[in-house]
Amino acid sequence: MANAYYVLPENNIVKLNKTETKHLRVTRACIGERLLGLDGKGNIYTFELTGLNKEEARGKIIEQNKVEHDSRVVAIAIAATKWPSLRIALEKATELGVDKIEIFHSDRSVARFDDRKIEKIKKVIRESSKQCLNPFFPKLEVTSSLNEDTEYLDIILDPSGTEPKNIIETLSNKTRIRIIVGPEGGFNQEELDKLKKTGHLMSLGKRILRVETAVIVSLAYVNLAFNRL
């Protein structure tokens, strides 16, 4: 599969930042070579490399294809967790086509995120989008607590919840779904009671799943219901 690069389009050219330029140099890209570019906004470019130095690269746009976005929106909210688990969760959520990723702090969250870590999160999302040729990079939101959003139907993952097949049957006429994944230790009772008032609890079975596994399984169910596989 051809490598894809994150590009910044400007008129009939694309620009590549220092990070993407480094990737070009590592892969020994040559002037005149035709490459694939993504802008994260639904556009896929074929461009011819016209300039390459240590700081930036440029290319001439040969072809531009606009991908139509699915009318239904899937978001996932993940309680802050340790980086190894979060990194995998971010990668897989992106590969499975999630539209928005929220990271929030709950009572039992053990991780905290400063600006440096947020940049790492953005990088993982961008690299995963390029790897799977996802033309729409997921939007990212990092908050101190889970935001209430009445535009979404919330599905909260919890062992006490309903079986997925029963939840899935209710999604056919919904256009905006948000899956909420708690920390490794689960939500406390106060948090759970609050979430139950506006959302539906869904169980993923008898086994206790890691955060990253719960992200994959829950998104697979929703993608199946929305025919997004």
pLDDT of residue 63: 97
Average of per-residue pLDDT across 48-63: 94
pLDDT at 206 over 80: yes
87 is written with which tokens?
Answer: 């990194």
CB-side exposure of 50: number of CA atoms within 13 Å?
12
229 touches 219 (CB < 8 A): no
**Percentage with pLDDT > 90 across the chain:** 68
DSSP 153-174: EEEEEEEEEE-HHHHHTT-TT-
Average of per-residue pLDDT across 200-223: 92
- At 122-153, the pLDDT tens digits run 999 999 999 999 999 999 999 988 888 888 99
| CATH number, domain 4-66, options 2.40.240.20, 3.40.50.300, 1.20.1530.20, 1.10.3720.10 | 2.40.240.20
- The model's confidence at residue 228, banded by pLDDT at 50, 70 and 90, is confident
Average of per-residue pLDDT across 74-99: 96
pLDDT of residue 132: 94
Provide long-range contacts, Cβ within 8 A and 24+ apart, for 81-87: 81/109, 81/110, 81/111, 81/183, 81/184, 81/211, 82/110, 82/111, 83/111, 83/117, 83/120, 85/184, 85/210, 85/211, 85/212, 86/111, 86/121, 86/211, 86/212, 87/124
Average of per-residue pLDDT across 210-224: 94
- The model's confidence at residue 165, banded by pLDDT at 50, 70 and 90, is confident
Q: In this structure, what are the phi and psi dihedrals at residue 92, rounded to the nearest 5 degrees?
A: -70, -35
* CA separation, residue 79 to residues 36, 185, 216 (Å): 34, 10, 15
pLDDT at 1 over 70: no
Strand ranges across the sheet with 4-6: 4-6, 34-38, 43-52, 57-66, 13-16, 8-10
Residues 6+ apart with CB under 8 A from 48: 32, 33, 34, 35, 59, 60, 62
Of the two residues 175 and 47, the one the predictor is more confident about is 47
pLDDT at 211 over 80: yes
Of the two residues 224 and 75, the one the predictor is more confident about is 75
Determine the topology of domain 73-225 in CATH. Alpha/beta knot (3.40.1280)
The overall average pLDDT reported for the chain is 92
Average of per-residue pLDDT across 51-67: 94
171 is written with which tokens?
Answer: 């999604």
pLDDT at 216 over 60: yes
Please report, for the chain, the start and end positions of each structural domain, with discontinuous segments joined by +.
4-66, 73-225
